[in-house]
Chains A and B, each alone.
Chain A
Amino acid sequence: MRILAIETSCDETGVAVVDDGRHIISNVVASQLAHQDTGGIVPEVAAREHLRSLDAITQTALREAGVELRGVDAVAATVGPGLIGCLLVGANYARGLALSAGLPFVGVNHLEGHVYANWLYEGVVAPREPELPAIVLVVSGAHSDLVLMEAHRRFRPLGRTIDDAAGEAFDKVARLLGLGFPGGPLIEKAAKSGDPNAFPLPRATVSDRYDFSFSGLKTAVQRLVRSLEAKGEVPVNDVAASFQKAITETLAEKTARAAAEHAVDTVLLGGGVAANLALREEIAKRIGRPLVVPPPRLCTDNGAMIGAAAFFVLRHRGTEIPTTVRSDLKLA
């Protein structure tokens, strides 16, 4: 089954063609540059950009796949969670394509997309599918969810952030350090030449549950930067490394503990923050074996992950296929 999939939930316009939920035939992602000046995503600007580029990017994705719209079996699009104005652009364009080409439309939960990115591959030979059950950590600028995936499309939420998303914390600290936007890759780069043990920072744990809280850590970094500024120059790389260590240890500790508690062998990662190598290494260290994670370009938002999830929606559909756009959709 060949699926044309569209992702427009935030600031990436992504369109892909995916076979049988796993094999990427094409995967075109356009990152919006309009947000770099504002140091954050302006939803209205993002929605305008999606509408401006979506049709052209869809044409590119089909051309790169060497298929015509008539050659696909279904059209999928993200229907939530995300920025409502952005979701509506992708979902309505996709529904228009599907209806006029006589194809089924599949609405996809963006978080399921991040999960099923772990099933994707690009080469000729299919790697083995991840085994279930699995513990899944989805961490990005918009979400921080720790989930037990019992079977295909059966998710049990274990914890989520009670304040900022992990990626938001990266963005805010990057802004504090004057590194720019988006914060994730910039912090990671600065941290490479910094000392992660330079400054002790709190490991924000919320009791013994699996919820996350990052606002305390963010405030601690803020206070640290202020006091360093008062003394003179801020050792940006050291602060970045210390912050990265604190946040990855928190995420890795809970992920490893969840895997142990539920006696699960598979740990899957998704979301933009999952592209962070320090986080991958920390989790691998704690679970005592190498992690199988999507390459960074499949961790950040893209159309292929929506195409993968859409396939499993069709294969394991319990109820009706969702079509309604919901900005606050959850994994369940």
Chain B
Amino acid sequence: MTLLALDTSTAWASVALYDGRAVLAETTWHAQRRHGDELFPTIERMLTDARLSLAADIDRVAVASGPGSFTGLRVAIAAAQGIARGAGAALVGVSTLDVLAYPHAPSKQRTCALLPAGRTEWYAAIYQERNRKWLRRSPYIAATLPQLCRQIGTHTLFVGEIDEEAEQLLRDLLGPKALFASPASRMRRAGYLAELGWRALEAAPQTKLGEIEPIYVKQPSIRMTFDQPFSPAPTDDLALGLPKRS
């Protein structure tokens, strides 16, 4: 049993192979806007190196479902749907922000995952451990950094594609409460997506292929406002289901 993980949510793309115990292969690259051209050659190269065939070996597919670049999200989701359909594999969508925050769970730090949403806006979600469970504590939102910081009361670890300017603005807005993961550890890697996807498929049978929908957050024409910042209150359904730490 092998899972193929695909993520083209932003200018950074990543693909990985995972067998439930180990990441067999992983490629993360700066695709800019060339995902459409580079995704399949990269998948094929990775499969060849791992001596695996899509048709014979891949029975699970996990795809990063956003939020992120609208077009980028659709590239990976369409590809994942086609692959899952052709290979008869189970498919699961995992939020791109969940993937970003997940490796920081052991830090027990309140974590905010950020991805650029165009102009001055950012996609964001807040994560925190509660009752020994790593939980998303907010909906997926699109907001400017000042709007976002109004919701941040305590020390928070920022991860994601945060450029220098954004990092400085967060430091200005939050002072010592703003903590930053190191450049490499704040990036997205499909190995983590694979782990989360694998776990989701163990917990629940696959959803229908057509039901994997991108998390757009923003409408094509109607601008998302920040009126209801962190409501509705997240339920336990939002838990990422990390095993309880002893």
Q: Which residues of chain A have a CB within 8 Å of any CB of chain B?
A: 42, 44-45, 47-48, 51-56, 58, 69, 84-85, 88-102, 323-325
Contacts and interface: CB of A to CB of B under 8 A. Distances in A.
Contacts of A69: 85-86
B55 A89 contact: no
Interface of B: 36-37, 39-40, 43-44, 53-55, 58, 70-71, 74-87, 89, 209-210, 213-214, 216, 220-221
A85 B71 CA distance: 6
A30 to B, nearest CB: 13
Contacts of A324: 36-37
B81 A54 contact: yes
17 contacts: A48-B214, A52-B213, A54-B81, A58-B85, A88-B71, A88-B78, A89-B74, A91-B36, A92-B75, A92-B76, A92-B78, A96-B83, A97-B86, A99-B43, A99-B83, A102-B53, A324-B36
Given A44-B220, A52-B210, A100 B58 contact: yes
Contact of A97 (B36, B75, B85, B221): B85
Contacts of A93: 78-79, 81-82
Contacts of B214: 48, 51
A54 B53 CA distance: 25
Given A42-B220, A56-B210, A99 B81 contact: no
Lowest 5 A-B CB distances belong to which pairs? Answer: A96-B82, A100-B86, A100-B87, A44-B220, A96-B83
- B contact patch SS: helix
Nearest to B56: A102
A89 B40 CA distance: 13
B104 to A, nearest CB: 30
A96 to B, nearest CB: 2
Given A100-B85, A325-B37, A48 B79 contact: no
Contacts of A95: 40, 79, 82
A100 B55 contact: yes
B209 A55 contact: yes
B142 to A, nearest CB: 15
A14 to B, nearest CB: 15
Contacts of A98: 82, 86
B35 to A, nearest CB: 8
A99 B86 CA distance: 8
Contacts of A84: 71
B75 A88 contact: yes
A85 B209 contact: no
A287 B213 CA distance: 51
